[in-house]
């Protein structure tokens, strides 16, 4: 009887449990497809290296663009004169727009240079760069409102009052409250200048409420 139990126990021990069976299957699979797995592993490593290289390149470009923008703004401040500052920074900003257009610093630089153009009374150029910046930041409500307000003031400087009104109205009817009162004040002034006192009064009342 003891011998029978011993033989049964031995047979039981010789049987593989599910984990051992699965482990053997995995090992057999690896052995059979060893070359393919090595190639796949190499491809994964290669993709990771390429991705790391791209991210490093992007970060390097971003850092360089940020340095160039900072240098240009420091040069403009040092000039202490809008016309002189515009002349001394124009080439630098255009280099940024050409070589670093896809960086965050490069995109924001268009807004900064548009303001420099405006202060130097280069209204056509200011309008151009603000318009390009608007296309870039169309989905950023806060920056978008700032650009719309700037375009409105540029249009006033260009004596394009209907277009200026259109930009300020976009802010007034927009989702965010940022610069809404400023836009309403500008609309009130434009309506008053055109003799539309009723609409002008409405805008002033909106500011007060």
Q: What is the pLDDT of residues 128-187, one digit of tens each?
A: 999 999 999 999 999 999 999 999 999 999 999 999 999 999 999 998 999 999 999 999
Percent of the chain scoring above 70 in pLDDT: 72
When pLDDT is averaged across residues 120-127 and rounded to a whole number, the result is: 98
The confidence band for 14, taking pLDDT boundaries of 50, 70 and 90, is low
The segment(s) of the chain belonging to CATH 1.25.40 are 145-209
Q: What is the pLDDT of residue 24?
A: 57
The label of the residue with tokens 């202490």 reads 80
Q: How far apart are CA 173 and CA 168, in angstroms?
A: 9
φ/ψ of residue 120, rounded to 5: -95, 10
Say which range, 68-82, 108-122, 194-208, has the weakest mean pLDDT.
Answer: 194-208
pLDDT, residue 53, reads 52
More confident residue, 140 or 58: 140
Assign 3-class secondary structure to 68-101: HHHHHHHHHHHHCCHHHHHHHHHHHHHHHHHHCC
- At 70-80, the pLDDT tens digits run 999 999 999 99
Band of pLDDT at residue 127, cut at 50, 70 and 90: very high
pLDDT at 137: 95
Structure confidence at residue 175 (pLDDT): 87
145-209 CATH: 1.25.40
pLDDT of residue 121: 97
Tell me the DSSP string of 20-57.
HHHHHHHHHHHHHTHHHHHHHHHHHHHHHHHHHHHHHH
Residue 4 has pLDDT above 90, yes or no: no
The answer to whether residue 114 scores a pLDDT higher than 60 is yes
């Amino acid at each position: 009887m003891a011998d029978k139990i011993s033989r049964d126990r031995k047979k039981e021990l010789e049987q593989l449990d599910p984990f051992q069976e699965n482990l053997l299957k995995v090992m057999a699979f690896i052995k059979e497809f060893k070359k393919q797995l090595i190639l796949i592993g190499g491809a994964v490593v290669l993709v990771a290296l390429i991705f790391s290289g791209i991210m490093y390149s992007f970060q390097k470009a971003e850092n360089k663009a940020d340095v160039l923008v900072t240098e240009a703004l420091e040069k403009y401040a040092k000039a202490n004169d809008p016309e002189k500052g515009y002349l001394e920074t124009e080439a630098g900003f255009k280099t940024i727009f050409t070589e670093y257009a896809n960086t965050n610093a490069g995109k924001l630089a268009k807004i900064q240079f548009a303001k420099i153009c405006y202060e130097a009374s280069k209204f056509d150029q200011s309008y151009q760069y603000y318009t390009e910046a608007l296309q870039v930041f169309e989905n950023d409500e806060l920056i978008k409102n700032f650009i719309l307000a700037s375009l409105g003031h540029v249009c006033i400087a260009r004596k394009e009052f209907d277009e200026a009104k259109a930009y300020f109205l976009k802010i007034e009817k927009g989702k965010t409250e940022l610069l809404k009162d400023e836009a309403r004040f500008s609309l009130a002034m434009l309506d008053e200048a055109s003799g539309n006192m009723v609409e002008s009064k409405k805008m002033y009342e909106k500011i007060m409420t």
